[in-house]
Structure 1
Amino acid sequence: MPTPTGFPSHTPTITLTPSATKTPTITPTFTATFTPAPTLTPSATPKPAKADIKRAVIISFDGMRPDAIEQAPMPNLMELMAGSAYAPLTARTIDYPATSPSHASMLTGYCMEDHGVIYNKFFMYMGYAKGTDVFQLAHEAGLRTVMVVSKDKMRQMAEPETTDVFEVAYGEPAIQKAVLPQIEQDFGLMFVHFAGPDNRGHKYDWMSGEYLKVLREGDAVLGEMIKTLKAEGMFDTTFFLVSADHGGHGGNHIGTTIEDYRIPWIAYGPGVVPQILDLQIYTFDTAATVAYALGLPIQPDWDGIPVYKIFGEDQLRIHEKYPCKT
């Protein structure tokens, strides 16, 4: 009979001793071989790197001042900030701090005189923002592109053929209803725009109770977006860039104080090194940074510069001065 695997082998030796009963005596001999078990060393889970980024979402809270985040408060955004690279004081919009021109710079990477969106309203005859914007690059690379906005004039920011989905949703509940199914279908580049802070700021004043309340409502939608990304197994491969088109004071943002120009700029995701950024950042750097995060080609004529520093890399270029004429 063969020896069962895993048991010690034994070879019996039979010795015959003369006796009255002539009963054989069996003396077993055992040979055991023991192999020590390997020592198991638990390996640390590799930290996600920039190369792990599969999608990016740009979130704009229209008219949100950086100092409103904690005052509101916005707990979901603050949780992202705890692991993010963000600029609390050194990010600003263009010299014309209005919704359409500023968002055009945010998404195209150009100054206002280059993208041509010089009015804060949109009629079809005006056409679309000029130049190669980040949505065009993403679409040409085969990424699914989505825009969910709460002002219809945001259509001017990117040409229709570069956005697979463009949906206007008025109010935070409507934005949530529109954006969550798009996350579940996956995407390559998404832009989500909350108009509430700007609307409430004009009606009730910036930093008023109503202004802060709508920021909390938008933050709740952000929380649902994060929850959905996690449920779909996509959160750890998603790059976030949260910002605004302008700030505001009193009931307007006409550019008379720094609060009108200063914007939040928060980057979170694979490879991002948590830090406070103290270099000068402009809103057109958003397009360049998102393109770099997604591995898309940086356009040589862009006024925006990728903020390489968020990934722990050398900042190859900086803004020595404001590059725009207007």
Structure 2
Amino acid sequence: MVSKKDIKRVIILGIDGAGTFIREAQTPYLDILLAGGVQTHLARTVYPSNSGECWGSLLHGVVPNRHESHVHIQKNRSFPVDSMAPSIFRILRKARPDSTMAAFVSWKPIITGVIEDIDGMNKYAAPDEELVPAIGAYLRSNPGVELMFVQLDDVDAAGHRHGYGEGSTEYLKAITRADKQIGEISKALLEAGMLEDSLLIITTDHGGGGLDAFNHGSDAPRDITIFWGCRGPGVNPEANLLGLSIMDTAAVAIHALGLPIPRDWDAKLPAGLLN
């Protein structure tokens, strides 16, 4: 079990729609952040490779037909608080009722149809350019936050508009802008004295351009292969991430928070990732 004195909080930074194309773009802030951590461009997301299914599996640790976040989103209803597939936020709140947690997203359905309505949890939805300053302000005034999820959406929007992949200049520029925004969030963590005792997970939910240059959702490699990386206390830079799934993010987060991973989860803790 990871010691709480080592990891004070878990922060998940999600770049919607970036797939593995992060390696094709200029990402100086990610390069610096993950220099002492571990990363892979061979992680896999779930099928169908759509945001509701993918972010749902990341936050609930189970396959889409178990969390059904996409169903709640389609029907414009809140994620049920009594679901047999609780999110990592609900698990933390049950274990530590006074825990401070937050979600900042550009795609608003995440804070309704994917994450439960949890009393006292900070939820905020806004376009990326408004979201990032709000995150910085929140971090500076809430040093005790234990769990935070961030979703940036402009990369996916660029993919739908200009096409996904290495051949789309506007798409790659959007990834570089997201990289700069992650740099701004990291700067806020650093200024608040929170960077070195945080487990920082950076990932994406899906790629695109598998069967349609302007879309995603298939099980084609360009749609379903994703980037995943993390840094923080106890992270083993030599860890083998072969076979890592987007769902495993939930297991990493829960373990890092010092809580037992639910036995019925599809998510697994990558062997040797956290010392």
How many percent identity over aligned positions? 29
Q: Which amino acid aligns with 1:55?
A: R
Over 3 Å counting, the alpha-carbon distance change for 1:278 and 1:177 in structure 2 is closer
For residues 154-198 of structure 1, the C-alpha deviation after alignment (integer angstroms, 9 at most, x for no partner) is 121111116611100113x21112211111122110000011111
The TM-score normalised by the length of structure 2 is 0.89
Q: How many pairs align?
A: 262
Q: Does 1:86 align with 2:46?
A: no
Over 3 Å counting, the alpha-carbon distance change for 1:127 and 1:304 in structure 2 is same
Q: Secondary structure at the match of 1:82?
A: coil
User: Take 1:223 and 1:244, find their aligned partners in 2: how far apart are those partners?
Assistant: 16
Counterpart pick for 1:197 among 149, 152, 155: 155
Conserved? CA contact 1:93–1:283, under 8 Å = yes
Counterpart pick for 2:188 among 209, 228, 236: 228
Per-residue deviation, 1:219: 1.2
Q: Does 1:134 align with 2:97?
A: no
The TM-score normalised by the length of structure 1 is 0.75
For residues 281-325 of structure 1, the C-alpha deviation after alignment (integer angstroms, 9 at most, x for no partner) is 11111101110011122111111011242124xxxxxxxxxxxxx
Residue in 1 that maps onto 2:26: 73
User: Take 1:269 and 1:170, find their aligned partners in 2: how far apart are those partners?
Assistant: 28
Residue in 1 that maps onto 2:130: 174
Over 3 Å counting, the alpha-carbon distance change for 1:126 and 1:53 in structure 2 is closer
Residue in 1 that maps onto 2:204: 244
User: Take 1:127 and 1:137, find their aligned partners in 2: how far apart are those partners?
Assistant: 14
Q: How does 1:35-50 map to 2 (within 5 A)?
A: none
Counterpart pick for 1:262 among 216, 225, 229: 225
Give structure 2 stretches of 5+ with no counterpart.
none
Residue in 2 that maps onto 1:53: 7
Over 3 Å counting, the alpha-carbon distance change for 1:126 and 1:192 in structure 2 is closer
Q: How does 1:1-326 map to 2 (within 5 A)?
A: 51-66=5-20, 68-89=21-42, 91-119=43-71, 121-125=73-77, 127-128=79-80, 130=83, 131-140=85-94, 141=96, 142-155=98-111, 156-161=113-118, 164-171=121-128, 173-184=129-140, 185-186=142-143, 187-207=145-165, 208-249=168-209, 250-275=213-238, 277-312=240-275
Q: Secondary structure at the match of 2:41?
A: coil
For residues 197-222 of structure 1, the C-alpha deviation after alignment (integer angstroms, 9 at most, x for no partner) is 11110110013111111111111111
Per-residue deviation, 1:277: 3.0
Give structure 1 stretches of 5+ with no counterpart.
1-47, 313-326
Moved more, 110-119 or 151-160: 110-119
Per-residue deviation, 1:70: 3.2
Per-residue deviation, 1:49: 7.6
The answer to which structure, 1 or 2, has the higher relative contact order (CA under 8 A, 6+ apart) is 2
